[in-house]
Amino acid sequence: MSAEEKTPVLVVATLSAFLTPFMSAALNVALPQMGKEFSADGVTLGWVANAYLLAAAMFLVPLGKIADLKGRKRIFMIGTWIFAATSLLLVFAPSPAVVIALRAAQGLGGAMVFGTAVALLAAVYPAGELGRALGINVAAVYLGLSLGPFVGGFLTQQLGWRSIFVLAAILGVATALVTTWKLRGERVSPREEEFDLGGSLLFGVAVGGVIYGFSSLPAQHGFWLIGSGALGLVAFVLWEARARHPVLDLGLFRGNPVFAFSSLAALLHYGATWAVGFMLSLYLQFVKNLSPQETGLVLVSQPIMMAIFSPLAGTLSDRIEPRIVASLGMALTCLGLFVLAGVGADSSLALIVVTLIVLGFGFALFSSPNSNAIMGSVDKRFYGVASGALSTMRVIGQTLSLGISMSFIGLFIGPMEITPEHGAALVKTVRAAFLVFGAFCFGGVFASLARGKVR
C-alpha cells in the first residue's frame, strides 16, 4: 500500500490517540472548579471521569465486531463525529447530570474510535512497519497525558473549565474532517453475518459491573458488583461458546497463545501502572509538601520518557521478536514499582524522578511491542475485535489499579479528607499499593514470556 494511503490513516489514528487522554488529563485539573460552579460533591465529580470510562469499556468489543462486519472506517468516522459533537455540547452543559450523561455519550464515541484505530493501522501497515506506526500512536497517548495537566490548568485558570471542551471540540472536528475527506475506501470487506446481540449485552453488563465495582471500592457494594460482573463474564463465555457468530471468538484465546498471553500481560501492566501518578501525587503533596505545580513537574518525567521512546520501541519490535522487547519493558516496570514500594518520608526527590524515568522507559518498551504482538497474531477479519479487546484490557486494568489504590486508602486512612497530618498513614498506603503493583508486573513478565514467538 502506498504512503499516500497509509499517511492519512496514521494521522487520524494519532490525532484521536492524543485527544482522549489529553482531555481526560486536562479535565482532572478542572474538576475542582467545576465542583465549585455546580456545588457538586466528590462522588459526582468522580462520575464525570468514570462515566466516560464505563461507557467505553461496555461497548469496545461489540463495536469492534460491528466494525469488522460493516467497515472500520465507517465506525471510526461516526465515533469521531460523536466525540466532537458531545465535546461541543459539554461547553453549554447546565448541570452535573448533563455533564455525566454527555460524558457517557462521549465514551460511546470513544469506543468507536479506540475499538477501530489500531485495527485501521494494522490493515494498512505490513508486519515489518506496523510496530513503528503503533509506536507513534502510543507516543501520542503519552504526549496527551503530558500536556493535559499543563494546558488544562492554564485554560481553567484563564478561561474556565468549559474552555477545555471548546478545545476538544475543535480538535475533534479537525479529526472528523480529516477522516471524512482523506480516508479513501473501506479497511475491511463488509460481510453478511448475524450480529451477536445477546453476547454483546452480556459483555456490556458484565464488564460494566466489574468496572463500576472497582470504581466503588472499598465500599461493600463494590465487592458485590465485582462478583456479579465476574459471574456475568462466566455467562458470557458460556454463551459465546455456543453462539454461531460470537461477538468475541473464543478461539482467539484458546488456539492463540500469543493473543491470550499478550492480552493478559496488557491487563496486568495497566493494572500495575495506571494509579502510579495518582498515588505519587498524594505522596508528593501530603508527605513531601510539594505544590501541585511542583508535583506536576516531577510526575511529567514518566510520560515524557514514554512519548520519546514508544516510537523507537515500536520500530524495534518490527526487527526483534516483540516478546523480548515487551518482556524487558515489563521487567523494568516491575523493578521501578518495587523501588517505589520502599519509599518513605525521607526519600529523595531524585530517587522518585529516576524511578519514574525507569518506569517510563519500561512502559514504552512494553506497550507498542505488546500491541504489535496482539495485532500480528490474528487474521485481518478479526482486527476490530482484537483492537477492542486490547482497549478493554486497558480500561479494566486502569479501573483495577485505581480500585486497589482506593482500597488501601480506605484501609489505612479511612473515609475522610486526606491532609498532611495523614503523612505516616499515606506512606503505608503508598508502600502497600506499590508492593501489589510490583507483584502484578512480576506476574506480567511471565505472561509476556509465555506468549511464545510472534514470527
pLDDT of res. 7? 85
- To 5 degrees, how large is the angle CA 419–CA 421–CA 423? 90
Element (H, E) at 386: helix 383-412
Question: What whole-number distance in Å separates Cα of residue 164 and Cα of residue 110?
Answer: 17
- Is residue 379 helix, strand or coil? coil
Domain 1-181, CATH among 1.20.1070.10, 3.30.360.10, 1.20.1250.20, 3.30.750.80: 1.20.1250.20
List per-residue pLDDT tens for the chain, 455 residues long. Answer: 566 678 888 888 888 888 888 888 788 778 778 888 888 766 677 788 778 888 888 888 888 888 888 888 889 999 999 999 999 999 999 999 999 999 999 999 988 987 788 888 888 888 778 888 888 888 888 888 778 877 888 888 888 889 999 999 999 999 889 888 877 666 555 556 778 888 889 988 998 888 788 777 777 888 899 899 999 999 998 998 888 888 888 877 888 888 899 999 999 998 998 888 878 888 888 889 888 778 878 888 888 898 889 889 988 888 888 889 999 999 999 999 999 999 999 999 999 999 999 999 999 999 889 988 888 888 887 887 888 788 888 888 887 887 788 788 878 887 666 677 878 888 999 999 999 999 999 999 999 998 877 66
Q: Where are the alpha helices (DSSP H) in 71-95?
A: 72-90
DSSP string of 187-230, one letter each residue:
SS--------HHHHHHHHHHHHHHHHHHHHTTSHHHHHHHHHHH
> Which residues are CB-neighbours of 403 under 8 A, at least 6 positions away?
213, 214, 215, 217, 222
Answer yes or no: are the C-beta atoms of 402 and 383 closer than 8 Å.
no
376: enclosing H helix or E strand: helix 349-376
Question: Comparing 1-181 with 249-455, is the CATH topology the same?
Answer: yes
Dmax (CA) of the chain: 64
Report pLDDT for 43: 64
Cα-to-chain-centroid distance, residue 11: 20
Quickly tell me which residue has 458488583 as its cell: 225
SS3 for 279-295 is HHHHHHHHCCCCCHHHH
Angle in degrees, CA 174, 180, 182, rounded to 5: 90
Residue 2: predicted pLDDT: 63
Query: If we measure between CA atoms, which residue out of 175, 119, 171 comes closest to residue 379?
Result: 119
Integer angstrom CA distances of residue 189 from 71, 183, 274, 413: 7, 15, 36, 55
- What residues does each domain of the chain span? 1-181, 197-246, 249-455
Supply the pLDDT for residue 3. Answer: 62
* Multiple choice CATH, 249-455, 3.40.50.450, 1.20.1250.20, 1.10.10.60, 3.30.70.660: 1.20.1250.20
pLDDT at 417: 61
Please tell me the distance from the alpha carbon of residue 135 to that of residue 312, in angstroms, as a whole number: 7
- Whole-angstrom Cα distance, residue 202 to residue 239? 9
Q: Report pLDDT for 81.
A: 94
